[in-house]
Structures are given as C-alpha cells and as structure tokens.
Amino acid sequence: MKLYDSIVIGGGPAGMTAALYLLRSGVSVAWCEKLSPGGQMLMTEEIENYPGFPKGLKGYELVDLFAAHLDGWSFDKYTDEVAEIIPGNGVHRVRVGDEWVEGKTLIICSGARYKRLGLPNEERLTGKGISYCALCDGNFFRGQEVGVVGGGNSALEESLYLSKLVKKLHLIHRRDDFRAMKCYQDKVCIKPDIEVVRSTVVTEIHGENALEGVTLRNLKTGEEHFLKLDGLFVFIGFEPVTGFFPDQLGVDAQGFIITDVEMATNVPGIFAAGDVRSKLCRQVTTAVGDGATAANSAFLYLEQLDA
Amino acid sequence: MAVQVTDSNFEAEVIKSELPTLIDFWAPWCGPCRAMGPVIDELAAEFAGKVNIVKMNVDENPATPSKYGIRAIPTLILFKGGEVVEQITGAVSKSSIKDMITQKALG
C-alpha cells in the first residue's frame, strides 16, 4: 500500500489549492477526484466575484487556470470515488474505488451538491424534465414552460439564465421574501416572462416517462392546484458530500464537517476545507482560503509527527 | 479517445454495432459533461475490443437525443443489439460506470 504525507480528497477550488500549497512545501501528495477537476465551478456559467478577474470569466475558464497551476508538479492522481476512510494513529487509510492508499494527513474537500426536494417521482424523472443544472439542461427547454424552485442566490441567478431560453418561467418560493442578494431580486422582478409564486411549495411531481407538471400548495391559504410544466429546476440549497466520512468525524446538524479556524477536525491529522466545512459563506474565494489554510496546518502537523 | 458519432452514422455505429455500445451525450457548454469527458476516454481505452464507447455532441446532432427523450446531459445510454439496456443521467464516478458495463454489457 502506498503511503503519502497527505491525501487531498476532492478536486474543486479548495482541493486544488490545498494540493498546490502542499506540493510547494515539498511533501508527497495523492489527489483523489472522481471526475476531472473543477467541482461546482464547472456548473457555473459566469464567475464575477473572483478577485483579479474584474470582467468576470466562465466557470470552466477559471477551472483551466487553476488546473494549469498544478502542471509540472509531481503527484499521484486517483480518478475515482473515495469510498471509505479508516482513521489510524499517525496513518489513515483511504479506499479510492477498489484501491487502498495511506496518508499521514488527509484534507477533505469533497464539497457540496444540490439538495433534492425529496418527493416521489423526483429521482425517476431526473433527466426527464427535472434538473439541478440550468447551464447543462436549459437548452432542452427552449421556448417551453418551466418551474424553478428556491429563493436563494442560485435560484434567482439560474432563473435569470433560463429566462433567456424559455417561453415562461414560474419561480416557486416557499416564503414571501427572498434570501438572494438584492441585485438578483431587482433583475428577476422586472422580467415579464418570470412569474414569481410566493409562499408556495411543490407537493407532488407528475409524469410517466417525462415530467408533465406539479401540484403546488399555497402555504397561506392551503389551496392546491396543478401546474403543467415541461421542466422543473430545483435550487433549494446544498448538502455536503459525506458518504465516506468515518463515524468519529465531528459534523454539524446538516452533516457539514466542524473544524477550528486552522481547518483541523476533531480527528488528529484530518483536516477539511471548502464547501464541505460547517460555515456560512460558500464561495470560490473562501474555498481557496480554506484550502491554503488546511495545507499549512497539515504541513505543521507533519513536522510535529516527524519530530 | 472515444469516437464522436453523429445523427447520420448513429444507426451504423450504435444500433448495428456488433459490440455493446455505450454512448455519452454531451455538449461543450455543459460543465458536468466536461468533467465526465476524460473518464469516458479512459473507459474507451480500457474496454477497447469488448465494448464500443462513443460520444455524441447534442448541439450538432439534435435528432438522436430527441428520439431517445434526452432532456438532461450528460446522459449515458448503453445499447445491446440495438436496444436500450441502461441509462444514467448526471456526472457519475468511473467505478460506477465500470460496474454498470461489467454487469449490463458483459454480464
């Protein structure tokens, strides 16, 4: 079994930054990412708030620049899913696909993914009308009628993108007020083809081989009605990617990993960075900061371990 | 590298293929498709001679995706003897695609 100074789990901005900082400090690194690097940056059309790029750039363009920063460094890349972690005393074991590797330190940057509504038929109709990525699937709904569920930045940002493609968009939000930034709210409210449906939830999803529509319930009046839709896009927040966490790892009520300000978890030698961490602000900028901090903490821990 | 197929050669390359065929429907503007691309290329090399693994750009080839009711990408469809035997939507790990190929294409 191969032993590394550090194993970085995840290829988003936190993982890429952690790997870069570790390599620059001269330690041996394994990097696990089941897909090609980028994480949620790849799902983002335009990134407008990453300092240094005042004109904004495409999500994939920033990914390519991040990845280019790792060119020329020597490390092992494992293109598969991390399935299991067995914490040990000084050395932790990680199963990537069918293979076991060992690391003196681990940095978990597995990120977060879009939450599901949790309704019957949702999984069956995903890809047949239900989507969690406007950028990927918006094109299939050109000139059609779609619903968007949610009230945060993602829901409004994606609605603005979709409204350029679809004939009519119903923005379905369970509260009266939006959590999204005011700049998005102002833009959404003046779009004639976006109808804002407040204080309303989706209670049923209908369709056999393709989505046919949803049942909506008004939370104030209790009234229910059927809305015919070609597509339903769901942006109701994020959940951490946790399937492989060891039992003893401390997490918050939503399952996000609890760390101190230096990104250390409650398990010695295991650190966490990026969206998977329990925190309030989840951005590319904060992920990058977390990644650098975690790498530095792992490096200091390694020095102590070898002393 | 997985070969790109088109609406015009889909019948010959996929439906009439002697080997089971896995086709990846993708587009250049789709982030998760970009994430899956290298995985599909690696699998094409690993299963060469046993399973035919190809890609189709849905932007340039609208007829086939519409025929198979594709409304999200990336979508992978496995064909055996011209019939659909499995369909996966969304970016998934290499090992889960490998398991699917082993069970449904070679099993």
- Domains of chain B and any CATH numbers: 3-105 (3.40.30.10)
Q: How confident is the model at residue A135 (pLDDT cuts 50, 70, 90)?
A: confident
Q: What percent of chain B is modeled with pLDDT above 90? A: 70
Tokens linked to A243: 């399937």
From B31, B14, B74, select the one nearest A45 (Cα to Cα).
Answer: B31
Q: What is the pLDDT of residue B28?
A: 85
Task: Please provide the average confidence, as pLDDT, over all residues in chain A.
Answer: 94
Active-site amino acid positions of B:
30, 33
Q: Check pLDDT > 80 for residue A307.
A: no
Q: How many residues does chain A have?
A: 307
Least confident segment among A21-25, A42-46, A97-101, A282-286: A42-46
Interface contacts A/B by beta carbons within 8 Å: 91
**Is the preceding omega at residue A120 within 30 degrees of 0, hence cis?**
no
Q: What is the pLDDT of residue A249?
A: 98
**CB-closest option in A34, A127, A140 to B94:** A34
**Spatial separation of the C-alpha atoms in residues A181 and A281, rounded to whole Å:** 13
Q: How confident is the model at residue A48 (pLDDT cuts 50, 70, 90)?
A: confident
Q: Check pLDDT > 80 for residue A218.
A: yes
Asked if the interface predicted TM-score (ipTM) of this complex is over 0.90, the answer is no
Q: What is the mean pLDDT of residues B75-102?
A: 91
Q: What is the pLDDT of residue B74?
A: 92
Residue of A nearest to B74 (CA): A136
Measured from the Cβ of residue A153, the count of other Cβ atoms closer than 10 Å reads: 15
Could you write out the three-class secondary structure of A212-262?
A: CEEEEEECCCCCEEEEECCEEEECCCEEECCCCCCCCCCECCCCCECCCCC
Q: How confident is the model at residue A260 (pLDDT cuts 50, 70, 90)?
A: very high
Q: Under DSSP, is residue A294 helix (H, G, I), strand (E, B) or coil? A: helix
Q: Check pLDDT > 80 for residue A114.
A: yes
Residue range A146-171, pLDDT digits in tens = 999 999 988 999 999 999 999 999 99
Q: Check pLDDT > 90 for residue B107.
A: no
**Spatial separation of the C-alpha atoms in residues A231 and A248, rounded to whole Å:** 41
Amino acid making up residue B48: A
Q: How confident is the model at residue A75 (pLDDT cuts 50, 70, 90)?
A: very high
Q: Check pLDDT > 90 for residue A286.
A: yes
**Spatial separation of the C-alpha atoms in residues A78 and A95, rounded to whole Å:** 10
Are A125 and A209 within 8 A, CB to CB? no
Q: What is the pLDDT of residue A23?
A: 98
Are A11 and B34 within 8 A, CB to CB? no
Strand ranges, E, within chain A: 2-9, 29-32, 46-47, 57-58, 76-78, 82-86, 92-96, 99-108, 112-114, 130-131, 145-149, 168-172, 194-197, 200-206, 213-218, 224-228, 231-234, 238-240, 270-272
Q: What percent of chain A is modeled with pLDDT above 90? A: 79
From A69, A78, A116, A118, select the one nearest A100 (Cα to Cα).
Answer: A78
Q: What is the pLDDT of residue B91?
A: 81
Residues 191-210 of A with CB under 8 A from B: 209-210
Q: Does A36 touch chain B (CB under 8 A)?
A: yes
B75/B92: higher pLDDT: B75
Beta bridge partners of A227: A214
Q: How many residues does chain B have?
A: 107
Q: Check pLDDT > 90 for residue B3.
A: yes
Q: Check pLDDT > 90 for residue B50.
A: yes
Question: CA torsion angle for A95, A98, A101, A107 (degrees, to 10)?
Answer: -40
Phi, psi of A96, deg, nearest 5: -110, 110
Q: Check pLDDT > 90 for residue A245.
A: yes
Q: How confident is the model at residue A34 (pLDDT cuts 50, 70, 90)?
A: confident
**Spatial separation of the C-alpha atoms in residues A111 and A12, rounded to whole Å:** 7
**CB-closest option in B30, B42, B70 to A135:** B30
